[in-house]
């Protein structure tokens, strides 16, 4: 399985003289001796939303689809609670599969499967194809588990009920599309009440389209729920964990924070569909599944505990977003029509739910909600600092009234939390202005701006934050992406984002956080394009834009250094070049970023004041190619950064190739 498909080419590049270059050299003066201006150490993070099958069928490593029999037609018209399940009998095995709800495993998980097997033959039971097939690797272990309740043995309904001491055997088998076994395990239990049984299967062959068949060789009737299959190997070997390759790809961005769980998913398709964090914690069979606003299903197996744990595992700060007590203004698919507010007489309870989240994350292990975190295996607080309230909501009086209530309560009880307000879906307009009005009136510490625009827009707006009023709320650029023609990710769009990001660094005192969106897109399952990382069940395909985010994330700083680029002598006009220079206070490295978004190489004459404190060999990370270059499923040679060594000093020449991002990292001497 590929991880990052990132060949590292080590070359030794000597400082390139600019003789023969088409353009005269432009002076770039950097003052590496200056004290530097503090910028946000959390500037580059990621935004995870369960869109494009990013969670179920994606990052969440569960391999069984509809494991809890909770899919519904309201999500997709062809779906029932039995979607993705079929009855399979072999060698004369016969029976049926129906859904039931009369004696559920848990009230939050109301439906379960009833498998009636009057004649077992060589085996009869139910089969699941996973999310577009189950990918298994030879020699790897897969953990299978399920909740079972035995209904009767030997005869049909009304037959002899099972005795408490009578063992019943269930087999879980991985098989290929031809029905050939890839490995199986036998699970036994006794008793007549719900019980969890578990075993392991070692895959005998590698296939990417296996199915899981859960069957019996005894006639009888069983109820099944939460039928689950996980690879033993998950990211950091967590149980109920995350897909290792995808999680590692996210970790390699070195994000300083993760925003979750959305996006539109947060405020939901009508009030009943809001994402309520309490429904997503605790044992998975007690969680409350629901429709996904992106028209599929949320098992919430990847819930708040798993999100916080993942943040901790990769050294990123958690940034949960809670609904501002109003539903999405675009609601109307499954429930509701337009924005709807939680009734005012229920607002006190809702506000308490938000406060409870802070206690769950940060409270001592003996507090009411902290105890639930501890019970899940994390007695230490998670150290929540940021909390988003609302997601690009329409700024109506109903929104404002509710936002003020939530904000006032957090301020009063938890002034240590940085609340992030919302200013609509666009970089300007009515919601933007109204959102900012509220932020200014309430002195909300930070607001969340969103914009998806063509590459040219980003280049035309590089200076958006230069004149921002530093006395007002800081900015979290929570969702952005340059959408090139055909909504693809190209080097052109990646460089527009890179140029913009140099200006985010230049304004890192006011823009404190930023995250590209959306993050993940599964092949054939995307509701939204472009996305930062594409994937299948077996492979990960980072876009060129991913490498831009990675280069910035891995080469962020916390001090901005003075740097001035001027046109070559005798010329005027703007160069298609954006730069930023930062220092990483942890090690004193100076990091120079140069984005040449023009189609011609740009020679630069770099003057580096303070060079005597720096090493003479720098690391150059270069991302360059044709503006139309695309990394996607069919790209044979994806465009990736190339690493080399560059000789630097008080004055050196560097030619920024056409269509390129250069990151020059100069260690302290």
The SS3 call for residue 136 is: strand
For residue 85, is the peptide bond before it cis, meaning its omega torsion is within 30 degrees of 0? no
- What is the CB neighbour count within 10 angstroms for residue 486? 9
**Binding of residue 49 to ligand AHR (CB under 6 A):** yes
Least distance (Å) between residue 494 CB and ligand AHR: 17
Cα–Cα distance measured from residue 668 to residue 586, given in angstroms and rounded to the nearest whole number? 11
Whole-number Å distance between alpha carbons of 625 and 545 = 13
In whole angstroms, how close is the CB of 262 to ligand AHR at the nearest point?
5
Nearer to ligand AHR by C-beta: 363 or 518? 518
Q: Which is nearer to ligand AHR, 263 or 553 (CB)?
A: 263
Contact status: 545 vs ligand AHR (CB under 6 A):
no
Q: Is 517 in the site for ligand AHR (CB under 6 A)?
A: yes
581 near ligand AHR (CB under 6 A): no
Question: CB of residue 434 vs ligand AHR: minimum separation in angstroms?
Answer: 17
> 124 - beta bridge partners?
89, 216
Q: How far is the CB of 448 from ligand AHR (least distance, A)?
A: 9
Among residues 528, 562, 635, 649, which is the contact residue for ligand AHR, using CB under 6 A?
Answer: 528
CA angle 547, 551, 553 (to 5 degrees): 110
One residue of 318, 370, 425, 508 binding ligand AHR per CB under 6 A = 425
Residue count, binding to ligand AHR (CB under 6 A): 12
Least distance in Å: CB of 259 to ligand AHR?
A: 10
392 is catalytic: yes
Closest approach of ligand AHR to the CB of residue 393, in Å: 10
As a whole number of angstroms, the distance between CA 43 and CA 515 comes to: 8
Could you say which of 391, 418, 579, 596 contacts ligand AHR (CB under 6 A)? 391
**Cα 53 to Cα 499: distance, rounded to the nearest angstrom:** 30
Q: Which is nearer to ligand AHR, 228 or 515 (CB)?
A: 515
Q: In angstroms, rounded to a whole number, what is the distance separating the alpha carbons of residues 413 and 34? A: 41
Closest CA to 278 of 320, 250, 247: 320
Q: With H, G, I as helix, E, B as strand and everything else as coil, classify residue 278.
A: helix
Please report, as residue ranges, which positions from 149 to 188 form the binding site for ligand AHR (by CB under 6 A).
none
Residue 53: CB atoms within 10 A of its CB come to: 25
Distances (CA, A) of 341 to 272, 285, 426, 596: 11, 30, 22, 47
Nearer to ligand AHR, 131 or 452 (CB): 452
Q: How far is the CB of 267 from ligand AHR (least distance, A)?
A: 9
**Chain Cα centroid distance, residue 549:** 14
Question: Judging by DSSP bridges, how do beta strands 207-216 and 123-128 pair with one another?
Answer: antiparallel
- The angle subtended at Cα 523 by Cα 520 and Cα 529, nearest 5°, is 55
Q: How many CB atoms lie within 10 A of CB 398?
A: 18
CB crowding 82-101: b at 16 or more within 10 Å, else e: bbbbebbbeeebebebeebe
- Which C-beta is closer to ligand AHR: that of 361 or that of 481? 481
- Sole binder of ligand AHR in the list 392, 431, 448, 449 (CB under 6 A): 392
Closest chain position to ligand AHR (CB): 263
Nearer to ligand AHR, 123 or 518 (CB): 518
Nearer to ligand AHR among residue 171 and residue 528 (C-beta): 528
Q: What DSSP assignment string belongs to 158-206? A: TSPPPPTT--EEEEEEEE-TTS-EEEEEEEEE-SSS-EEEEEEEE-SS-
Nearer to ligand AHR by C-beta: 39 or 264? Answer: 264
Tell me the two tokens of residue 562. 């003075």
Contact 512, 505 (CB under 8 A): no
Distance in Å, CB of 620 to ligand AHR, minimum: 33
Q: CB of residue 196 vs ligand AHR: minimum separation in angstroms?
A: 35
463-468-470 Cα angle (round to 5): 135
Give the pairing type, strands 520-522 and 533-535: parallel
Q: Output the smallest distance, CB 386 to ligand AHR, in A.
A: 17
Q: Cβ 422 to ligand AHR, closest distance in Å?
A: 9
CA–CA gap between residue 191 and residue 150 (Å, rounded) = 7
Complex with ligand AHR: residue 264 or 496, whichever CB lies closer: 264
Pick 253 or 605: Cβ nearer ligand AHR:
253
Structure tokens, 218 = 């005894």
Nearer to ligand AHR, 517 or 561 (CB): 517
Between 47 and 168, CB nearer to ligand AHR: 47
Residue 276, burial from CB neighbour count under 10 angstroms (0-12, 13-18, 19+): middle
Integer angstrom CA distances of residue 231 from 64, 135, 180, 496: 11, 10, 20, 39
User: Please, what is the Cα angle at 188 between 137 and 223, to 5 degrees?
Assistant: 90
In angstroms, the CA 390 to CA 396 distance is 12
- Under rule CB under 6 A, which residues in 211-270 are in contact with ligand AHR? 262-264
CB atoms within 10 A of CB 651: 12
Q: Within 453-512, which residues bind ligand AHR (CB under 6 A)?
A: 479
Out of 62, 306, 392, 559, the active site residue is: 392
Longest Cα pair distance anywhere in the chain, in angstroms?
98
Q: Does 328 bind ligand AHR (CB under 6 A)?
A: no
**518 near ligand AHR (CB under 6 A):** yes
CA distances from 562 to 216, 405, 566, 652 (A): 72, 43, 13, 18
- The least distance separating ligand AHR from the CB of residue 56, rounded to whole angstroms, comes to 16
Euclidean distance between the first and the last CA atom of the chain, given in angstroms as a whole number:
39
Question: Where in 351-436 does DSSP place strands (E)?
Answer: 386-389, 418-422
Asked if 86 and 127 touch (Cβ cutoff 8 Å), the reply is yes
Catalytic residue IDs: 392
Contacts with ligand AHR by CB under 6 A lie at: 49, 51, 262-264, 391-392, 425, 479, 517-518, 528
């Amino acid at each position: 399985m590929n991880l990052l498909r990132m060949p590292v080419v080590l070359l030794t590049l000597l400082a390139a003289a600019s003789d023969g270059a088409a353009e005269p050299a432009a002076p770039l003066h950097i003052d590496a001796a200056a004290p530097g201006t503090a910028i946000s150490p959390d500037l580059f993070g990621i935004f995870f939303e369960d869109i494009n099958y990013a969670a179920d069928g994606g990052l969440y490593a569960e391999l069984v689809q509809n494991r809890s029999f909770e899919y519904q037609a309201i999500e997709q018209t062809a779906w029932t609670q039995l979607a993705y399940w079929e009855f399979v009998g072999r060698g004369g095995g016969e029976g049926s599969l129906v859904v039931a709800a009369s004696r559920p495993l848990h009230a939050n998980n109301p439906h379960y499967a009833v498998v009636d097997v009057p004649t077992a033959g060589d085996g009869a039971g139910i089969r699941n194809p996973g999310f577009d097939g189950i990918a298994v690797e030879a020699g790897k272990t897969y953990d299978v588990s399920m909740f079972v309740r035995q209904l009767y043995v030997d005869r049909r309904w009304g037959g002899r009920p099972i005795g408490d001491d009578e063992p019943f055997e269930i087999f879980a088998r991985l098989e290929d599309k031809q029905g050939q076994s890839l490995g199986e395990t036998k699970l036994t239990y006794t008793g007549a009440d719900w019980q969890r049984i578990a075993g392991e299967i070692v895959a005998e062959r590698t296939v990417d389209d296996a199915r899981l068949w859960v069957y019996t060789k005894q006639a009888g009737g069983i109820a099944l729920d939460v039928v689950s299959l996980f690879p033993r190997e998950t990211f950091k070997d967590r149980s109920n964990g995350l897909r290792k390759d995808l999680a590692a790809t996210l970790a390699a961005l070195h994000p300083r924070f993760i925003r979750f769980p959305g996006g539109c998913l947060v405020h939901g398709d009508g009030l009943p569909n809001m994402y309520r964090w309490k429904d997503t914690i605790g044992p998975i069979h007690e969680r409350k599944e629901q429709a996904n606003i992106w028209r599929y299903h949320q098992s919430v197996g990847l819930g708040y505990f798993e999100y916080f744990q993942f943040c901790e595992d990769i050294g990123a700060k958690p940034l949960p977003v809670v609904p501002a007590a109003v539903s999405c203004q675009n609601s109307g698919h499954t429930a509701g029509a337009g924005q709807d507010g939680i009734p005012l007489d229920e607002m006190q309870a809702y506000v308490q739910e938000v406060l409870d989240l802070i206690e769950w994350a940060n409270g001592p292990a003996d507090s009411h909600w902290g105890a639930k975190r501890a019970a899940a295996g994390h007695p230490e607080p998670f150290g929540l600092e940021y909390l988003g309230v609302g997601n690009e909501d329409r700024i109506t009086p109903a929104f404002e009234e509710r936002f003020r209530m939530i904000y006032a309560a957090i301020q009063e009880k938890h002034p240590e939390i940085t609340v992030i307000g919302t200013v609509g879906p666009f970089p300007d307009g009515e919601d933007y202005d109204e959102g900012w009005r509220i932020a200014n009136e309430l002195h909300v510490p930070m607001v969340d701006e969103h914009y998806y625009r063509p590459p040219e827009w980003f280049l035309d707006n590089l200076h958006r934050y230069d004149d921002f009023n530093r006395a007002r709320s800081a900015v979290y650029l929570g969702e952005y992406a340059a959408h090139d023609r055909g909504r693809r990710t190209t080097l052109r769009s990646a460089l527009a984002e890179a140029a913009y990001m140099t200006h985010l660094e230049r304004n890192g005192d006011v823009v404190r956080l930023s995250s590209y969106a959306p993050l993940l897109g599964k092949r054939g399952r995307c509701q939204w394009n472009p996305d930062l990382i594409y994937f299948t069940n077996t492979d990960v395909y980072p876009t060129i834009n991913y490498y831009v985010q990675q280069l910035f994330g891995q080469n962020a700083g916390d001090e901005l250094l003075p740097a001035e680029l001027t046109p070559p002598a005798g010329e005027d006009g703007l160069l298609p070049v954006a730069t930023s220079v930062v220092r990483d206070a942890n090690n004193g490295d100076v990091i120079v970023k140069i984005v040449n978004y023009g189609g011609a190489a740009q020679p630069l004459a770099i003057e580096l004041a303070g060079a005597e404190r720096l090493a003479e060999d720098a690391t150059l990370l270069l991302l360059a190619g044709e503006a139309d270059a695309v990394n996607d499923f069919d790209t044979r040679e994806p465009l990736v950064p190339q690493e080399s060594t560059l000789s630097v000093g008080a004055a050196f020449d560097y030619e920024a190739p056409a269509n390129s991002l250069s990151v020059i990292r100069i260690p302290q001497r």
